[in-house]
Structures are given as structure tokens and as C-alpha cells.
A and B are shown apart, each in its own frame.
Chain A
Amino acid sequence: MKRTNFVFTVFALLFIFTFARPSTEPVKIKIIADKANVYLQPSENSLVIATVEKGKVLNIFGIGAEKGEWYYVFFTLEERRAKIGGFVRSSMAEIIRPQVEKKEITQKEIEEKENEKMTEEERKEVVKAGEKTVKEIKEETKKTEEISKAVKSEERKAQIAVEKAPISSKKDGIKVGLGLIGGYAMPSKSKYSEGVIYEGNIYLLISKNLAIEISGLSFQSDVVEDPEALSAGKLSVIPISLSLQGRLPVNDFLTPYIEVGGSYFLNDFSLNNSIVSSWNNVGFDINEEVEKSIGLQVGMGLDLFISKSFIFNIDCKYFINNTNGSWELIDQVSNEKISGDLDGLDMSYIYIGFGLKYLFSL
């Protein structure tokens, strides 16, 4: 398989992997235990703010940090007529999908129908219950407000806990990242050997969908002699790149991106020592150079949020680097010099790298 084909195949697989993946987002949970406590914090020592019955369907807000053992749920506590956020042990519930939600809606309808079937006596009891005194209601309301305040306070704490613990960035805002990548580069010309690359980058996350990356990458390649191009030696290519990333977050955990940008290539070439010394041995200075150049790069990658600040990154870039060079041979005795140009040196290459990024807010 040609290298170019291989590169495109890698790109294609990356896209397929990114976008063809089925959504795993848990939108609701259903209580499967007879009763389940809702805690203020993801701990059984925390305050129990509510108890829900089996079969209750709750909106899920996120997954707890403790290895996914907690669901953060958000629901209306009918008794207190207040919205409450809290943690439910994952073992007490199961995740349901939208279809299941539909099924839950149907269940409500069934419950309403059952309500309609309530007996007269039951209605009377409800009326009786509603005939509580205003005083009692006021007291109840007061208690509810106190609880509500406490709950809000705990809710705020819980939210902070949630942000601290596990969850991918969910809010837009400028963030800065620093990254290191190691990878493998494959030049487009077979005269240049493949090899390891190292990249350092600064990463500016402008919004959920847009980022700017400034990177420097080092790649060294062994060159096989080509009479029309470079002789045997070592080629060093260091592109200083500015890229614009279009980010397409799938969820808080996974963000594929594509990027495009320009690079200034610090190209450098040195002839093999054996060549230089053999010519020196017969009294000739030999030299080959390549010019620095400006080129483009396109790429794509995946950011996997392993925490709020750390990202595991898979990156693939194709650098288009065309430059010129020159060679010369000088007789140390007669100073007779011969030289030539090496036009159209194609030093483009693609690389696939894996690395880590650390994000912090400005």
C-alpha cells in the first residue's frame, strides 16, 4: 500500500471511529431498588435529602467520580415543591434510554389513569388532607424553605464537587493548554526514512468549537542518496506551526477535531560523515544545504478528556513542505568550485502522534 493511501486510510478510520460511534449518553435513570436515598454528596455519610421509590425515573446530570458509582440526579421533590439535585448510588438504579423514557411517560399516563380511578373515599382523604390549617401550611412552608436553603447550599457544594471530580468541560470559556506529543512520521518520498517525532504545543481553547494551536515539532530522517536530490545524510525538519482547530465535541469526554494552518520549516541537512571525510581525504570540501521554507499543514485528531485538566490526545498531521537546496564541491588546492541547485525538494510528511495536554483557565 502506498504511503499516501495509508495516510488517507488512517484519516478515514479516525473519522469513522469518531462519528460513527453510537451515543452512550445516559439521560435518565430508573430506580430499581425498593427504596433509594438521594444524598447531598456522593457519600453515604452525607445528608439524605430524599428517598425515592422503586420505578421512579429521574433525570441524570452526570456520573460520579468514584468509578461511576454515583449518579447525580436532578428532580422535583413533590413533597416540598422544590427542585433538588443529589447523588444516587448507581447500584440502586439503571440507565434508561429515550425509548425507555417514552415508556416512563406511558407509565405516568397509566398512573394518571389510575388516579382517575380513585375512589370517592380516597378523594375525600385528599380533600381532608388539603384542609390543613393555614398555620400548618405556613409552618410546613417555612420548614420547606429552610430545607430548600440547606439543599441549595448542599447543591452548590455538590456542583463544585462534581466539577472538581470527573466531568469534562461543559461550559465555554478561554482555556490554555500545554501539550507534549510523541509519534511516528512517514515522509512522502521514499528517499527519506520514517522516524520518531516529538512535538510541543501551546493550545488556546477559544470556545467549545474553536481552538488555536502553536506547535514545534522535531523530525530527523536518514536520507538515501538520490542523484537528482539530496545525497546520503541526515535531514532535520522542525516546523513551527500555527493551526486553527475546528472542534466537534461529541460529549464531555470525547472531542474530535480537524485543523489547518501554516508552518515555517527549519530544514537542515548534513551529509554523511563518511562522504565528507572521504572527500576531505582527497582534498575537497563538500557541502549540501537545504533552504528553510514555508508550508501548510492539515490534520485531525481526538481529545479524550480524562479529567477536567488532562487530555489524552491523538493527533495526525500532514505537512506540505517543498523547498530548494544547493550543493558545492571545492578543491582545496585549486579552489576550483562546482555547485548546483536542488530544486523542488519534496520533504512533506505525515505523522501520527499520541500525547497529553494539560488545560488551565486564563
Chain B
Amino acid sequence: MKIKLYLLLWMLILFFAATTVLFSNVDTIKPPEPQNLSKLSGDLKEGNPKMEYVLYKLMKTYFEQGIEKAKEFANQRRIDMQDGFVRVVTESNEARYISNIRDTMSVKRTNYLITEQIKALGGKVETAYGNLIQSIIPIDRLNDLIYLPYVRYLRLPKKPIPCVVSEGVEKTGADRWQTVTPYRTSEIVKVCILDLGFKGYENLLGTELPDTVVTRSFRSDRNLYADKHGTACAEIVHDMAPNAKLWLVNFNTEVEHHNAVDWIINQGIDIVSYSIVWLNSGAGDGTGPICEDVKKADSNGIIWVSAAGNEADRHWEGNFNDTDNDNWHNFSGADEGLTIYVDAYTPVEMYLNWNDWGYWNGNRYSGSNQDYDLYLYIWNGYYWQYVDSSMNYQTGTQWPVESIWGWYSKISTWWFVLIEKYHATKKVKLELFIYGASGDLEYNEKYGSLLIPADSANSITVGATDLSDDSLHWYSSRGPTSDGRIKPDMCAPAGVSSFTYGNLAFYGTSASTPHVAGAFALLKEKFPYTLNQINAILEARAKDLGPAGKDNRFGIGRLKLTK
């Protein structure tokens, strides 16, 4: 009997002990603000101005800790690395820096020289566009590449992020349009869904998709099925415009993107449905390589419909403010950090840029000489522990961007984001996107949360409204653009049904965008109005929401095809 009582007592003790251990770190009460954090970078930066900081860290990890640790690092940062080869993008220098030969010839020549060098280093060129060369290079040879005089910058490829019979068809009045007999046109409208992947699309041919579609993968591995996001978008376009012919085109990096857009233009596409956004890929004023693609498509008569992005609650922007002159940005008063609470195993990502991109010449930015860095700390239950930093050089030619990603915690806890002025002569306007927070950002600015290329003057940018009551979805990115233009242009329903996502409603501006692209296609196949005239018609018919007129939340209002 005594033994049983002892046993029970011990079990109770063990239960409380286990409970205490398990939940001791789950601290949902905000920890104290960090005090007197030292600058990690000190006076000298690590790495090389011609190499993205994260690549330097990967290389450093490899040389100091071996290939396994490097693999672990690459895996954590979602860096494409396989068998010791890293996928990178090399930006070549323009002609004027290396010869007197004309620019176009020089670009070809420098690309040729770089390509030969990559081969010599044991790498392989996958694709190229303009002065960008996408290749895979042995990790131990990355350093060799940057010392070539005609290599301007070595970095990871920029990658897009996806922003799922839709109820939006009836909501927008497209069902009534579908019954209208075409007038003075027999045009088959070509719509391209430019996306990350079209997994499972074959199973939907003849039902959720047209009987036949045109497909093309611009990925280096030619994998059309890398993602199912595009399939869901294509479903909505087909729901809206059942007679439109669809092109399903996917890509993975910005170099592949450029090539894809050139191909789309040659295909005579009428409309591009683009439920993709990019981070740190432009100044937010409609310039940059991705926006340039949109501009090129527009100049070739293509209507480009872009998602605004789902970043309204992940965004902060403001002028650099250092009231105590310690080079740390003060988000508010004496608060030098932006605190977020993140659930266990949820990846934390953050992207910083500031308005010092320089001049965009249609090919590249002249670059920034205002150097700011990004730091990340985590609350370990006792103190703020350093996690990671991003310390790209900004010496006059690099982009004003920093980014940290690939981190997560095994417990739910608080994270702390800091911005340091490393070397700057002027105050800049900072913009920060943070992913992973389970609740609101401590400092959140919903306006100006557009991503690239939603800021393009050449795209129809689409926000997301609720299917039932036309309220703006909380995540829908808002304008204005960094040069003050009102965006998005209009909104469309999200949270709609799709075969691809099954029981899960397709939310996001990704779902809204193909509604608008489909509306263009539907109207285009009904009469010979030009796409620009159709745009005017759609704008006039949109259901005005929010403040009267066009605004930075709803644009001109929710897509509505009936009068």
C-alpha cells in the first residue's frame, strides 16, 4: 500500500516536472526591451562588397565547418545547393568599365567571358538574360568568381513568392457576360498564367481547365509541376472566361522570369495573370528588373494583371530615426527593436530596403552608398539572444537591401528585429517586411505594403475583398507606391473555391488577380474594344468601396462587370 502511495506521489511529481519543463519557455508575455545591444559588425564588415552577405556566410561556413554544416546552412536558408554546387546569379559589368566597345556588344562579351570563367571553375551556366547569368558553381569557387574584373556582383537568384468554380464569377457578374453573343469579333483571347508551377493541371483539362492548354517551363530543371499555385489561378481564369486559350508558364528565378516574358511576348499573348510578388526587387516606384518586364509586356500590347500582395500586416516603413545617436534605429521613442511573437516551427523572414536605389537606367540601378544592416534576436526565456544579421555592403553600386530568413524556433516565443546604420550620410526611408509573426507586428504600417511588381504603372494591380461583404481582406497590400501613386487599381473576390485546393478556400490577392485577368479576357472575346478601353470600362463599372473614388485600399473598387 505504502509502495503504491509513493508510486502515485512520484508520478504526480514527474507530471508537474514535465509540465513545467514543457511550458516553461512558452512565454506569451512580452519580454523586456533589450538594452545596450552591441554592434556586431563593428567598424569593419565581413565579406566582400561584390558578394551578397548570405553567400559569404555560406562560403565561410563551408570553409570553417565543412560541407555538412554548409548544407545545413543552405537548407535553412532555402539556398539551392546540391552536391556542393550553389545556384547563383552573376551580374556583369557594363562596357564602359572594361572597354570602349559598344554596350550591347560588351554585355555579350562580358557574359561570354564570365561564362567561360564559370566553366573553368567547374560550374555550369543554366540561363542568362541581359547582364545576368544564372549558374551553378562549386561552393569552394564562389570566391574565385567575384575577383574577375567584369563581375559586378554575385548573389543568390531572386525568387518570387506566391501570393487558390470560383464564387467570384457570379459575384462579379461574369456569369451574365458569358451568355452574351460576341459582337464583331471572333477573337480567341490568349491568357498566360505566369506562375511557379502547375501541378495536377492535366487532371483538370476539359473540366476545370480548357480541353487543351499551352505549357512551357523556364525553370532550369524544366519542372512544370513545381507548385500547384498556378493551377488554381488558371482555374479561376477559365471560370471567368471559358473560351479563352490558356498558356501555363512557370519559372523559378528572376533570370528565368525575364526569358519567360520575352517568350510570352513572342507568343502574342493578350493578358498575363500574375499572382506572384517579389521582395527587395525594386524601388517600389515602378522601376527595377521585374517591373521592366511588365513595362516591356505592356509596350507590346499585353495587359498585365498583378497581385497587390498579402503583406499589409507584415509591413512597416518609416524614416530612419536615431534619437540617441547610437546608430540603432528607434522604431518609437526609445524602442530600438520591432518585436513579434512567432509560433513554434514557424519560419521567420524579414526583408529590409531603403530609398537609396539610385538611378534606374532600364537595366540596373546605379546603386546605394547608404549602408544599413539588419539584425535578428530571439527571447530565450532569460535574455535576448543574437540569431542572425544581414550586412550587405552598400558602397555605391549595390542594391539597398538586406534580408534574413530560414530561422525558426522549436518553441513559440518572441523575436526582435533591429536596424543599424553602418555607414550613411543621409537619413533614408526604411521599409521592412516581416514574415512568420502569429499576431500583429509591434509596429505595423499597412499603407505602402505593395510588393513588386504591384507598384508598376504598367500593371493592373489587384487587391482582395471578401466574397460575402466586399470588405477588404486584412492581408491585402495597400498603396501608395513609393513615388506616391495610388495602388491597387481595383479589388476582386478572394476566399473562393477551387478544385486544386479542395476544401481550403483560395485566399489572397493571388485568387483575386485571375478574376480580373479573366474579366479582361471575357470582355475582350465579346467585342472589339481595345484592352485599354476595357480597362476604362472595368474602372467605370467597379463597385466603389471605401472613400469615394480611387484609394489606396480598394483602388477604384471591387470588380463588377454589370452596370
Q: How large is the interface on B (under 10, 10 to 19, 20 to 34, 35 or more residues)?
A: 20 to 34
The verdict on A126 contacting chain B, using a C-beta distance below 8 Å, is no
Contact residues of B between 134 and 187, Cβ < 8 Å to A? 173, 176-177, 179-181, 183-186
Q: Are B183 and A231 in contact (CB under 8 A)?
A: yes
Query: Quick check: B184 and A227 within 8 Å, CB to CB?
Result: yes
Q: Once the chains bind, are A283 and B181 in contact (CB under 8 Å)? A: no
State the 8 A-B residue pairs at the shortest beta-carbon distance, nearest first.
A283-B563, A334-B540, A333-B540, A333-B563, A278-B180, A333-B541, A331-B537, A336-B536
Q: Once the chains bind, are A227 and B186 in contact (CB under 8 Å)?
A: yes
Q: Which residues of B contact A329 (CB under 8 A)?
A: 183, 527, 529
Contact with A along B530-547 (1 / 0, CB 8 A): 000100110111000000
Residues of A within 8 A of B537 (CB): 331, 333-334, 336
Contact with A along B498-533 (1 / 0, CB 8 A): 000000000000000000000000000001110001
B177 — which chain A residues lie within 8 A by C-beta?
282
- A327 → chain B closest CB, angstroms: 7
New A-B pairs, 20, CB < 8 Å, besides A329-B183, A331-B540, A338-B533? A227-B185, A231-B183, A279-B183, A281-B180, A282-B177, A282-B561, A282-B562, A283-B541, A283-B562, A283-B563, A284-B527, A327-B184, A329-B527, A333-B541, A334-B540, A336-B537, A338-B527, A338-B528, A338-B529, A340-B184
Is the C-beta of A332 less than 8 angstroms from some C-beta in chain B?
A: yes
Q: Point out which of B173, B176, B183 has the most chain A C-beta atoms below 10 A from its C-beta.
A: B183
Interface residues on A, range: 20 to 34
Q: Give the complex CA separation of A190 and B527 in angstroms.
A: 24
Is A275 an interface residue when CB atoms closer than 8 A count as contact?
Answer: yes
**Please, could you name 6 A-B residue pairs with CB atoms under 8 Å apart, sorted by A?**
A227-B186, A282-B561, A283-B541, A329-B183, A334-B537, A336-B533
Across the interface, name the chain A residue whose C-beta is closest to B527: A329
Q: Measured between alpha carbons, how far is A325 from B529 in the docked complex, in Å?
A: 19
Residues of A contacting B562 with CB < 8 Å? 282-283
Judged by a CB distance under 8 angstroms, whether A286 is at the interface is: yes
- The CA of A334 and the CA of B542, in the complex, are separated in Å by 11
> Mostly helix, strand, loop or mixed at chain A's interface?
mixed
Per the 8 Å Cβ criterion, residues 268-320 of A in contact with B are: 274-275, 278-279, 281-284, 286
A163 to chain B, nearest CB (A): 64
Distance, CA A329 to CA B534, complexed state (A): 12
- With a CB–CB cut-off of 8 A, which chain B residues contact A336? 529, 533, 536-537, 540
Q: Which residues of A contact B181 (CB under 8 A)?
A: 274-275, 278
- Kindly identify which residue among A274, A282, A338 contacts B563, using a CB–CB cutoff of 8 Å: A282
Give the complex CA separation of A327 and B185 in angstroms. Answer: 13
Say yes or no: B536 contacts A334, CB within 8 Å.
Answer: yes
B542 CB, nearest partner CB in chain A, Å:
10
Closest to A283 in B: B563
| Complex Cα–Cα for A327 and B527 (A) | 12
Query: What's the nearest-Cβ distance from chain B to residue A106, in Å?
Result: 82
Instruction: Closest B residue to A286 by CB, please name it.
Output: B183
Which residues from chain B contact A282 at a C-beta distance below 8 Å? 173, 176-177, 180, 561-563
Chain A min CB distance to B524 (Å): 12
Residues of B within 8 A of A286 (CB): 183
Which of B177, B529, B537 has the largest number of chain A CB atoms within 10 A?
B537
Convert A31-62 into 0s and 1s, putting 1 for each residue whose CB lies closer than 8 angstroms to a CB of B: 00000000000000000000000000000000
Q: Mark B176-209, 1 if CB is under 8 A from A, else 0.
A: 1101110111100000000000000000000000
Residue of A nearest to B539 (CB): A334
B-facing mask of A144-184, CB < 8 A → 1, else 0? 00000000000000000000000000000000000000000
Question: Measured between alpha carbons, how far is A333 from B541 in the docked complex, in Å?
Answer: 6
Q: Mark B263-274, 1 if CB is under 8 A from A, else 0.
A: 000000000000
Instruction: Let me know if A278 and B179 touch, CB within 8 A.
Output: yes
- B 544-563 binary contact with A (CB < 8 Å = 1; else 0): 00000000000000000111
* Chain B residue nearest in CB terms to A338: B529
Give min CB distance, B174 to chain A, whole Å. 10
Report Cα–Cα, A278/B186, bound state, in Å.
17
Which chain A residue lies CB-closest to B180?
A278
Report whether A275 and B183 are in contact in the complex, using a CB–CB cutoff of 8 Å.
Answer: yes
Give min CB distance, A273 to chain B, whole Å. Answer: 12
Give chain B residues whose Cβ lies under 8 Å from the Cβ of A327. Answer: 184
Q: How far is the CB of A283 from chain B (nearest CB, A)?
A: 3
Collect the chain A residues with CB atoms within 8 Å of residue B528's CB.
338, 340
Residue of A nearest to B533 (CB): A336
- In the assembled complex, the Cα of A134 lies from the Cα of B559 at a distance in Å of 125
- Nearest CB in chain A: distance from B388 CB, A: 52
Contact A231 B563 (CB under 8 A): no
Which residues from 444 to 499 on chain B have a C-beta closer than 8 Å to any C-beta of chain A? none
Give every chain B residue within 8 A of A231 (Cβ-Cβ). 183-184
Q: How far is the CA of A281 from the CA of B176 in the complex (A)?
A: 8
| CA A286 to CA B533, docked complex, whole Å | 16
